[in-house]
A and B are shown apart, each in its own frame.
Chain A
């Protein structure tokens, strides 16, 4: 389809894409700009695209009303652990399913794939009971263990398996002739070459953990242990009405770092995701 286009067609395409961009870009822009508007300007008719006046006090309120720094740390370290854990175990399992022949491999793979069909929501009740028994409700354990070992990791395993299947098998045969055992082949040959798939897995996993909402509100009940998604919804006044500008400031703080990392590394991001083995 990639043919040279005439100038007229190009202009039309640019125009179309700019219009389509509005719902993708405007909300983020609005969030950032409104977080520094005085509350009275937020509801200005017609809305201001660029703030008329600045009020940065919302940002200090974010930290006054809740232990926001603590919550930020909670989300960050949980997402980091989940990402590392998933990368480790999913790449191992994906490698084995792709490369090692062992009795029952297919059946076990089917069982693991079953995890894709079982949304966390289906098992949330028994998981709550299990963690309750273990005294782990209102701790971060469920938010760490379930994503690393449960259903969300299955997708990662699938992605890794698809990648390893596509890796030339001669590389590993050469390594075997060179005297490497299974684990060394995995660690020194397969894993270093799996960077694209690993980064895709890392991105998916991080975002999944960072966005987790149902699990935190089911498992966590004290503000010091909240994660960000949960914390964001807590900026309400005594009547339960949202404190919009403070909420938007907190939302900006939550969204902006990830967004900036994304824009800096967008090439790797997008291309990593595009090569997840979903090409069929």
Chain B
């Protein structure tokens, strides 16, 4: 087990800079998730930790040792790939034992390790099968098994669940979490799916266009997103953004109606972008008038699309409502759940 350090890590392909200096310290035993839209550089960053990409600038360290120049095999890491990368010509046992075999482990030792890993992952009855005879979830498990037999210092996961269907993804997500709780090894996990990030991570690194936007625990990111990008990326359905004017602590919509009163906690008067999560817009007897445009019942929740001072906004309600298209509702937000962002920089203002 080991901590991982990234210090002003840069990557460029030719003249194109794809990662502009990333600083993250991953604690020993931590589950860190790198999340961001595709092309944000999260996979490249992971591959640099693995040693599959060269580091253009800065320093990558594992267990206190700078590994920039080390081959992947010398970094004591294991990696699970998006498409599993199982060797098609080897059966499950061979796939899992291959690296040990190559590192010169004895036959009995390898068999023991493979049996141990197979037991943890529920693969014991599949050891003789070949990858093409396995289902997607089983392949995924073998890929993880191949990683854990080695007992490495760090596990790296590159979008390991994105090739699975929605249901299986939820199952495997829990398995990965359980695995981490059992092994307590440092894990770095790349995904574009913010729900995976929220559910799995001790800490999340949100990346965008080769830069780190925010680092924090899942709930920190949810409760106090540092900027508009993080606010919009974390949370589902996504946050509503409305242009507002703050005057004397009161948050006013374009038509002058009041959304919330922040009192002393309010930032200086002026124009802001106000972020409100759909689940935080409450219906009441008074507040800003909203015209119902669409009602989408989902069983447990109901999603309502409204027009609020000429802007479209979404509500996520726990209660069922009887309103129809064209009806008018009154909505308000609790002050603690109002996020104000600077119009130009997008930085948090309150």
Contacts and interface: CB of A to CB of B under 8 A. Distances in A.
Contacts of B77: 177
A189 B73 contact: no
A176 interface: yes
Contacts of B273: none
B116 interface: no
B52 A192 contact: no
Interface string A154-191: 00000000000000101101111111100010000100
B71 interface: yes
Interface string B74-99: 00011101110101110000000011
Contact of A179 (B52, B85, B103): B103
B85 A174 contact: yes
A175 B85 CA distance: 9
Contacts of B103: 179
A184 B103 CA distance: 12
Contact of B81 (A173, A180, A193): A173
B50 interface: yes
Interface string A221-256: 000000000000000000000000000000000000
Contacts of B98: 178
A240 to B, nearest CB: 56
Nearest to B89: A192
Interface in B124-148: 146
Contacts of B78: 177
Contacts of A193: 88-89
B335 interface: no
Nearest to A195: B89
B81 A176 contact: no
A189 B87 contact: yes
A80 to B, nearest CB: 25
Contact of B73 (A168, A170, A171, A178): A178
Interface residues of B, number: 21
B81 A170 contact: yes
Nearest to B84: A170
A175 B103 CA distance: 12
Contacts of B72: 173, 176-177, 179
B102 interface: yes
B173 to A, nearest CB: 21
A176 B87 CA distance: 13
Interface residues of A, number: 15
Q: Main SS of chain A's interface residues?
A: helix
Contacts of B85: 168, 170-171, 173-174
Contacts of B79: 173-174, 177
A100 to B, nearest CB: 14
A176 B99 CA distance: 9
A178 B83 contact: no
B82 A180 contact: no
Contacts of A176: 51-52, 71-73
A184 B98 CA distance: 12
Nearest to A170: B85
B50 A177 contact: yes
A173 B79 CA distance: 9
A178 B98 CA distance: 7
Contacts of A189: 87
Contact of B99 (A168, A170, A179, A192): A179
Interface string B42-82: 00000000111000000000000000000111000111011
A193 B85 CA distance: 13
A170 B73 CA distance: 15
A255 to B, nearest CB: 35
B158 to A, nearest CB: 9
A177 to B, nearest CB: 5
Nearest to B88: A193
Contact of B82 (A170, A171, A177): A170
A177 B98 CA distance: 11
Contacts of A171: 85, 87
Interface in A119-177: 168, 170-171, 173-177
Interface of A: 168, 170-171, 173-180, 184, 189, 192-193
| 5 tightest Cβ-Cβ pairs between the two chains A and B | A178-B99, A179-B73, A170-B85, A174-B85, A170-B81
Interface of B: 50-52, 71-73, 77-79, 81-83, 85, 87-89, 98-99, 102-103, 146
Given A168-B85, A177-B72, A177-B77, 7 more contacts: A170-B85, A173-B79, A175-B87, A177-B52, A178-B98, A179-B102, A180-B73
30 contacts: A168-B85, A171-B87, A173-B52, A173-B85, A174-B79, A174-B81, A174-B85, A174-B87, A174-B146, A175-B87, A176-B51, A176-B71, A176-B72, A176-B73, A177-B52, A177-B72, A177-B73, A177-B78, A177-B99, A178-B73, A178-B98, A178-B102, A178-B146, A179-B72, A179-B73, A179-B99, A180-B102, A184-B102, A192-B89, A193-B88
